[in-house]
Structure 1
Amino acid sequence: MGTERVDIEADYVVVGAGSAGCAVAARLSEDPGVTVALVEAGPADDAPMMDVPLAAGRFLGSAYDWGFHSDPEPGLDGRVLALGHGRVLGGSSSINSMVYLRGAPADYDGWARSGADGWSYADVLPYFLRAEDNDRGAGPLHGVGGPVAVSDSRAPHPLTAAFLRAAQQAGYRLLDDLNGPDQDGVGYAQATQRDGLRCSAATGYLRPIAGRPNLTLVLETPVTALLLDGTRAVGVVGRRHGVPTRIRAGREVLLAAGAYHSPQLLMLAGIGPAEHLRRLGIPVVSDLPVGDGLQDHLRLAVSWPARLASLRAELTAEERTAYERHGTLPPMAHAGESAGFIRSAPHLPAPDFHVAGVPCAIGGMLASAGGGLALAGWTTRPTSTGLLRLRSRDPGEQPAIRHGHLRTAEDRRSAVDGVVRMLEIADRPALRDVIAGAPLDGPAGRDPDSVLAWVRRTGVSMHHPCGTCAIGSVVDPELRVAGVEGLRVVDASVIPRIPGANTNATAIMIGERAADLVRGQRRPTARRDVSAAAVSGPVTGDEMPVTDLA
């Protein structure tokens, strides 16, 4: 840093106020003896309807989304995919479909077997519980009193119920708890909601501590560079209204910018694949496989016209106006009400395919939802991986992203057979009674060639990117970046293998555990200073001690 001007100083600088960043910043700031600066590129989460479940899809592709796109994907007919990623306080938890699924215990036990010591299911379950305020009450698998509200659906949609009946008719068990020890079957999924409204990481972790004097929230400040003193991270540089802003870290810099931005910032600082960095003229600080191992789920959805009113049709102009003017709400149904874990082939020892009934027809993104219903699915643990690399030394240029979907024969088989299983569920009486015609866009046939051609033509990202700074290759089990002092990655980038479910709950858990690792603790404390008192509405910059950087 030398004699450069410093705009903000804190013991810990957290880059990114998404699911993990909100958790780690709130937990670290429980100690009044330390200071924390939480830096977010996007604005406050105060957009109209952002907390209303039915409106979730409108924010994908909006100003609250980074607008990432993949490079052409060879396995998907060379198509370019939209990669939704929240650019707002709360990150993707402020614009996602709110599904609360953790994945199977075997997912985390697999992490531990691969060398991620301290990340087995027994190790991470206490952090899931510490984060939860579950309306089912406390128990061995659920917590109460935590920041993140987790709720059952207040108004399940009839089309969702029809899907679950059809799945049972197809031979799948109805499960009471999709986060239980047995996840072989289908059921209603819980959501990150309180009183029918979205409970993002910002709402859960930051709103109850508004005004905490040792936590500084810096909004609308994209970080453009890590500051290094030799091989030690000492801060970051951001840009607020085009003005460079230096934020010094007295103890550590914690990257929670997500699986696309965290590796980008590392590589720009010379932490990454040496050959790639040298080609761009970036001096190498630590030669690491940053950006390798990118993983995501590939969503496959078949839609039909329906005889019942769909989810999208229920959000009328009158209901929207009533909410905006008077605070009255439409039914709190949402697109992620149901889920299930099934076998794409009967010989498999465990479920390998996720399936859900969606009470609306869906296109490439939920934002294009319309009248009808859909069955959506994806291979839970794809073996294909991709790559993220810099295009240039310009931090404002999006990196080159290729997920590598369907690279392996196993992923292609699972996708094809899983789609056939979905279509078999749609053939059952409970769904035949509500389907009003032929699929709006489905495979030409059920033979492998026809289904695979459709998969390649229509598959889209589930927006679950992870693995680009994995434990064991880029960071150690304490999440410390190899070869650099005072620097950790504390988001979904560190996941060594994608869990078989939506990744938001996992990212929150990583943030919770990261805070204890920074504090030198291997097991969670019982203390819960982040209140779970009922809260609503957005967190705005005016409610936190935000440094004036204009």
Structure 2
Amino acid sequence: MYDTIIVGGGSAGSVMAHRLSAKSANKVLLCEAGQDTPPGNEPAEIRDSYSGVAYFDPRFHWTELRVTTQVVSHNNPEAERPPLRKYEQARVLGGGSSINGQLANRGAPADYDEWEARGAAGWSWKDVLPYFKKVERDLDFDGPFHGKDGRIPVRRIPQEHWTRHAQAVAEACKLAGYTFLPDQNGEFVDGYFPITHSNQDEQRVSAAMGYLDRETRKRANLTISTDTQVRELLFEGTRCVGVKALVGGREQEFRGREIILSCGAIHSPAHLMRAGIGPVGHLKQMGIPVVMGLEGVGQRLMDHPSISLSSFIRRGARMNGHSRRHIQLGLRYSSGLPGVPRGDMFVGVLSKSAWHAVGAQIGSLLTFINKTYSETGQVKLASRDPLAEPVVEFNLLSDRRDVDRLMSGFRKMAALQMSAPLKAVTDKPFPASYSDRVRKIGVVNTKNKMLTAIAAVLMDGPAALRRYMIDAFVVEGFTFDGVMNDDEALEAFVRKAAIGVWHASCSCRMGRPDDPMAVVDTQGRVKGVQGLRVVDASIFPVVPCANTNFPTLMAAEKIAEAMQRS
């Protein structure tokens, strides 16, 4: 019998396991479907400061997960269904923090004041800032915005170590009138800045590395069970009393006083629905007995819609050996759309777009909507089978303001791209699409390594050959001149090419007890049932203006402390 069973050893699960097992009388079981990342013996791809290998390595993914990002019309059954896309979700200890881009930021203070206004009492900016500081050990800055004693180190690449490509983007930003901000995580204002990342000594520090270190693993009251896929939540009436799991392929049952789902915004709502907690109509349709009708389970799924303007980087301006970090510089700006808060747009500057030889030649201005208004996505069950992936519809760009801002964002990035500093180090800008072709060549294997090595030699050859190759093998029907000279073509590109940036969230939202769409209370407790919490990005009332890993770590720290107090 365990006091706490945590389902999912990702960012939130790692924090919860560390904090809740700190009290020796509290017996904790952490279940993770993927492999372990043992301290000092983590896979090299995960330790790597460059994240593009781990991110596309199928050993660390839920490989069968497919999603739709374009808007799905349920009112028109004749409408053609948008294509299914692979959506990389981590299946490894440390979760997303073991494979992500390591970006360590928090969002706007207004985000968390909005959380409170939407019913998450006690989650305003002043309430959450202490927990952001508790997470981090900032190696560069001190002061009221920064933590110095946390388990996750935060640093920035000094400008003198940036690639010439990143330096050129910075110069273009300066010429465009943007302010240089030395600290992205200081005051939330517009400007360009060195990207903050969870990294030390040129190595990733995942949540598992930071929170499940050697000392933590020595605790006799903590059991970490990897290769353990939870298939079923066990209930007695409306109380959750345990889980059934496949451990190394063999079914086992574990009992606990409290169960915590930390499986992320796609798999946590799926677990709830399979257990009979969710929208009554959908549960009945699936033939699942209703334990608790909660209409918000799986609803209002969010991500940050994004598009990319890419270009060929000339020799000498590429990754330079100072750092394997390929995202060194970022830009935060305001769209100026009426009624939209400042800092609603974000640009990540990539000086390398993939792990392979051609990826090393392509730079990207990845523009995403920090403050998105598209919140009509959903997660539904495809089957009662616990091994079947759910149906996931993000419905990105369901709000017209998001379309308009990606269109204006593309034009803004085009202006940067055509400025003298960037023209000097790049060639052949093109609207980039994360297509199936790009995905296939991005899978880490020997064949792709050889193919891209040959292509890269040709790309470094005559300009005419390079431009032909980009048009023939990279561009997906949209050209730079075509979208710049035709608003309809630009909108068509945005609608077709927009994808999320792997910030799935908000599908089990916190809210007031009387909010019919709220799934959990302000401590992650699932409404109407006992002994069950959700602690991960799915409980966010709205996605913040940030990469979601640090907000997830913050939320886990905050709820873990509340549990320890109770």
Task: Tell me if both proteins adopt one fold, taking TM over 0.5 as the criterion.
Answer: yes
Matched, 1:44 2:89: no
Distance 1:244 1:387, change over 3 A: same
Matched, 1:74 2:64: no
**1:360 pairs with 335, 352, 370, which one?**
352
**1:419 pairs with 410, 414, 422, which one?**
410
Residue equivalent to 1:542: none
Deviation at 1:42, TM superposition (A): 0.2
Q: Following the alignment from structure 2 to structure 1, what is the Cα–Cα distance between the partners of residues 230 and 357?
A: 28
Deviation at 1:435, TM superposition (A): 1.3
Read off the aligned partner of 1:237 and give its amino acid letter: K
Deviation at 1:137, TM superposition (A): 4.4
CA contact (8 A) 1:309 1:371 kept: no
**1:501 pairs with 536, 542, 546, which one?**
546
**1:235 pairs with 232, 237, 242, which one?**
242
Read off the aligned partner of 1:460 and give its amino acid letter: I
1:240-291 residue CA offsets vs partner (Å, 9 max, x unmatched): 13211112112x1111111111101100000000110011111101111200
Matched, 1:17 2:24: no
CA contact (8 A) 2:508 2:539 kept: yes
Q: Following the alignment from structure 1 to structure 2, what is the Cα–Cα distance between the partners of residues 122 and 380?
A: 21
**1:257 pairs with 256, 259, 263, which one?**
263
Query: Per the alignment, in what secondary structure is the counterpart of residue 288 of structure 2?
Result: coil
Residue equivalent to 1:281: 287
CA contact (8 A) 1:73 1:80 kept: no
Matched, 1:135 2:139: yes
**1:378 pairs with 368, 376, 379, which one?**
368
CA contact (8 A) 1:299 1:376 kept: yes
Q: Following the alignment from structure 1 to structure 2, what is the Cα–Cα distance between the partners of residues 72 and 196?
A: 34
**2:186 pairs with 180, 186, 192, which one?**
180
- Of all paired residues, the percent bearing the same amino acid is 34
CA contact (8 A) 2:351 2:360 kept: no
Deviation at 1:410, TM superposition (A): 1.1
**1:166 pairs with 172, 185, 193, which one?**
172
Distance 1:307 1:341, change over 3 A: same
Matched, 1:147 2:185: no
Query: Per the alignment, in what secondary structure is the counterpart of residue 243 of structure 2?
Result: strand
**1:470 pairs with 509, 522, 526, which one?**
509
What's the Cα RMSD here?
2.1
CA contact (8 A) 1:383 1:411 kept: yes
Structure 1 stretch displaced more, 152-161 or 397-406: 152-161
Structure 2 unmatched runs, 5+:
73-79, 431-469, 512-517
Residue equivalent to 1:56: 52
CA contact (8 A) 2:379 2:393 kept: yes
Structure 1 stretch displaced more, 404-413 or 136-145: 136-145
Q: Following the alignment from structure 1 to structure 2, what is the Cα–Cα distance between the partners of residues 451 and 301?
A: 12
Deviation at 1:61, TM superposition (A): 5.0
Scaled by the length of structure 2, the TM-score of the pair is 0.83
Q: Following the alignment from structure 2 to structure 1, what is the Cα–Cα distance between the partners of residues 335 and 242?
A: 48
CA contact (8 A) 1:352 1:414 kept: no
Structure 1 stretch displaced more, 266-275 or 172-181: 172-181
Scaled by the length of structure 1, the TM-score of the pair is 0.86
1:46-99 residue CA offsets vs partner (Å, 9 max, x unmatched): 323321122534432512011321047337982322211110010010001101
Residue equivalent to 1:343: 334
Q: Following the alignment from structure 2 to structure 1, what is the Cα–Cα distance between the partners of residues 53 and 411?
A: 27
Structure 1 unmatched runs, 5+:
1-8, 315-329, 522-550
Deviation at 1:333, TM superposition (A): 3.0
Distance 1:22 1:366, change over 3 A: farther
CA contact (8 A) 1:156 1:333 kept: no
CA contact (8 A) 2:51 2:99 kept: no
Residue equivalent to 1:65: 61
CA contact (8 A) 1:309 1:372 kept: no
CA contact (8 A) 1:174 1:186 kept: yes
Query: Per the alignment, in what secondary structure is the counterpart of residue 332 of structure 2?
Result: strand
**1:27 pairs with 11, 19, 39, which one?**
19
Residue equivalent to 1:540: none
Q: Following the alignment from structure 2 to structure 1, what is the Cα–Cα distance between the partners of residues 364 and 564?
A: 46
CA contact (8 A) 2:109 2:188 kept: no
Query: Per the alignment, in what secondary structure is the counterpart of residue 50 of structure 2?
Result: helix
CA contact (8 A) 1:310 1:372 kept: no
1:465-495 residue CA offsets vs partner (Å, 9 max, x unmatched): 0011000110011211001111110100001
